[in-house]
Amino acid sequence: MDNATFSLRFVFLAKNRAKLITEYSIYINATLVNLGVLFAVGVAIGMSKEQDGAAGLSGLVAWLVATTVLSISGVAGLQGIEESAVDSAFGNIENVFIGILSGIVASIMYNRFSHVKLPDALAFFSGKRLVPIMSAAAMMIVSVVLLFVWPVVYNALVSFGEAIISLEAVGAGLYGFFNRLLIPTGLHHALNNVFWFDLAGINDIANFWASEGEKGVTGRYLAGFFPIMMFGLPAAALAMYHTAKTKRKKQAASLLMAAAFASFFTGVTEALEFSFMFVAPLLYVVHAALTGLSLAIAAMFEWTAGFSFSAGLVDYTLSLGVPIANQPYMLLLQGLVFAVIYYFVFRFLIVKFDLKTPGREDEDPGEGEVDESYSVEEGTLASEKDETAVMAEEIYQGLGGNENVLTVDNCVSRLRLEVDDMDKVDQDKIKATGVPGINVVGKHNIQVVVGTQVQFVADEMRKMHIKDD
């Protein structure tokens, strides 16, 4: 490309920048206004054992039942009152919470009824065809319960949101602190629903991209994450690398640098956070506190930017042209300051308390030994496979193989696995693959943090997961 062509393209982009941002905002809003139904379908598929399309259809059916029965006109008809007398809570029934609930109900119905055989006269409705019917029936019952419960829940959420809003910068800081602190439990999603979506009237993400609300205020619950995800966490990764044992620096670097890049570029932080979340809880509490501080500072000075996915470089760049963004460049300066804080605080605490962050684990003579003769496909050695397949195979061995693994699933960065006997799981063998972390959830469920390549590892493991019927 010659200089003239490059200049013309640059001028074109500069002149059409506002138009491009406006069009992108329209695309974002098209998704955000339909998040409820997307969650209904997505959760239903994701939580069903076979991740079948029938589960997604059932999630949609459950969503339609709930939003129809609990609509203002539906409630008015059920209660025999005028629509104007219906509780205002039912005016906001098409929200993410109802979507998630619909998806959960549909997935339960799928897992319970997808293989049920009915008598010959009703055989057409057997198996997967039965699932949408049962989902509709179950959601009808749930809707009747919500008829009485939803106004209480909704008004409590609104009161909670208003209380946080009244605290201004301090409220934003508290939200940021608990947002990170609750990640190990998964409850941060419930917290995010209150502030990011239109569950309690805040709706920070959609309002930012639509440039609605007050400049310097809209985006308050988003902006402070950019300094953390783009600068703070990558600096923490550098501190962990510098404090790793010399002979393990290479292994630590492969994990930490990839996770740091994912955090900076896309805002996906789980791989990095899980690398120290359980082995060094002190660091994680400090990380949560610094996240809260970052949100409080950004809110105090009314520096705002927004994201539709997460607080990485991609979303930051796209948000620069949104009219309601306020001094977003200051978040970069704030990020540089937080990078310094993260690096030195993490380095000090790791060395002071001898924390076992990646590359500082205790010596284990048998660690990393893998039986290379093992293979699900006869005659195939692990050494002949690509890196992803090797990792998948080693993790699968560590889980106990076909005899112990019941289900294989994944989210954005984690393998979600169900096993028959947790005592048969060799966590040391799994950790030897270089995964950032392992989280045991109950007697039969375990999560293995892989990172942004988790989908490919999960696909390889599904190929290995050959269970006898």
Q: Give me the domains of the chain, ranges plus CATH numbers.
A: 3-166 (no CATH), 206-353 (no CATH), 386-466 (3.30.1360.60)
Distance CA 462, CA 466 (A): 8
The confidence band for 2, taking pLDDT boundaries of 50, 70 and 90, is: low
Higher model confidence: residue 248 or residue 25? 248
pLDDT exceeds cutoff 70 at 112: yes
pLDDT of residue 289: 98
The confidence band for 26, taking pLDDT boundaries of 50, 70 and 90, is: low
Higher model confidence: residue 308 or residue 11? 308
Q: Which of 113-122, 213-222, 238-247, 345-354 is predicted least confidently?
A: 113-122
pLDDT exceeds cutoff 90 at 453: no
pLDDT exceeds cutoff 90 at 136: yes
Please give the average per-residue pLDDT across 401-406, as a whole number.
90
pLDDT of residue 373: 39
pLDDT of residue 371: 44
Q: Which of 188-192, 326-330, 457-461 has the highest mean pLDDT?
A: 326-330
| 311-337 pLDDT tens trace | 999 999 999 989 999 999 999 999 999
Mean pLDDT score of the chain, rounded to an integer?
86
Which pair of tokens denotes residue 56?
């997604």
pLDDT of residue 378: 40
Q: Which of 255-264, 389-398, 405-414 is predicted least confidently?
A: 405-414
Please give the average per-residue pLDDT across 280-303, as a whole number.
97
CB-CB neighbours of 429 under 10 Å: 19
pLDDT of residue 254: 83
Please give the average per-residue pLDDT across 440-448, as a whole number.
87
pLDDT exceeds cutoff 90 at 202: no
Higher model confidence: residue 75 or residue 162? 75
pLDDT of residue 436: 76
pLDDT of residue 363: 63
Is 411 annotated as catalytic?
Answer: yes
Which pair of tokens denotes residue 39?
């969650």
CB-based contact 177:292 (threshold 8 Å): yes
Q: Which of 209-223, 334-348, 374-388 is predicted least confidently?
A: 374-388
CB-based contact 105:62 (threshold 8 Å): yes
Assign 3-class secondary structure to the chain. CCHHHHHHHHHHHHHCHHHHHHHHHHHHHHHHCCHHHHHHHHHHHHHCCCCCHHHHHHHHHHHHHHHHHCCHHHHHHHHCCCHHHCCHHHHHCCCHHHHHHHHHHHHHHHHHHCCCCCCHHHHHHCHHHHHHHHHHHHHHHHHHHHHHHHHHHHHHHHHHHHHHHHCCHHHHHHHHHHHHHCHHHCCHHHHHHHHHCCCCCCCHHHHHHCCCCCCCCCCHHHHCHHHHHHHHHHHHHHHHHHCCCHHHHHHHHHHHHHHHHHHHHHCCCHHHHHHHHCCCHHHHHHHHHHHHHHHHHHHHCCCECCCCCCCCHHHHHHHCCCCCCECCHHHHHHHHHHHHHHHHHHHHHHHHCCCCCCCCCCCCCCCCCCCCCCCCCCCCCHHHCCHHHHHHHHHHHHHCHHHCEEEEEECCCEEEEEECCHHHCCHHHHHCCCCCEEEEECCCEEEEECCCCHHHHHHHHHHHCCCCC
Please give the average per-residue pLDDT across 450-458, as a whole number.
82
pLDDT exceeds cutoff 80 at 469: no
pLDDT of residue 21: 59
The confidence band for 10, taking pLDDT boundaries of 50, 70 and 90, is: very low
How would you class 394 by CB atoms within 10 Å of its CB: exposed for 0-12, middle for 13-18, buried for 19 or more?
A: buried
Distance CA 283, CA 96 (A): 32
| 350-377 pLDDT tens trace | 999 999 898 887 765 444 444 443 344 4
**Percent of the chain beyond pLDDT 90?**
49
Q: Of the residues 64, 289, 313, 411, which is catalytic?
A: 411
**Percent of the chain beyond pLDDT 70?**
87
pLDDT of residue 17: 56
